Each structure stands twice: as structure tokens, then as C-alpha cells.
Amino acid sequence: MMIIDIRMPRINGFDLYRQVKKRDTGVKVCFLTAFQIYYEEFRKMFPTIDVKAFIRKPVSISNLVNQINVAIASK
């Protein structure tokens, strides 16, 4: 399970996701962002990225744990 911020120095979260998936296709990923993400718009922009979990900052610990549990349980 990885939690990846979309905006990071030197590499963005989407590029990191692609690199990780090349090494382990089974890894579960949640993206972390301070921006509003609309899933349908995301799918149009990044059709090859199969992520259903976006965690919006700021996030409470209970919401973070819930999002991680949902991501881990997904197929």
C-alpha cells in the first residue's frame, strides 16, 4: 500500500505511480492531494492509471485510515 502525493519535488505522483507499477503490479495506491479531484475527469486524463482512492488534504487520521482500508479491500 502506497500513499502518493500528486505534487512532489522532482517527480509528480503520477510518474512515481507508473514507476512503482512497473516493479509491482499488485501494489495498491492512494493519491494524496490538496486539490479537488473528480474521478471521471481523472479517468479521461489518465486512462491507464487504475486508482480509485484520492485523499484530500487536510485529512483526519480516522478518514486516512478509512481510505486506506477501502483501497486495500478493493480488487
Domain ranges of the chain: 2-73
CATH topology for the 2-73 domain: Rossmann fold (3.40.50)
Query: 15-74, pLDDT tens digit by residue?
Result: 898 899 899 988 888 888 887 766 666 677 677 777 767 788 899 999 999 988 888 887
Is 13 or 35 the better-scoring residue by pLDDT? 13
The backbone region for 66, taken as left when phi is positive above 0, alpha when psi lies in -120 to 50, beta otherwise, is alpha
- pLDDT computed for residue 61 by the predictor: 94
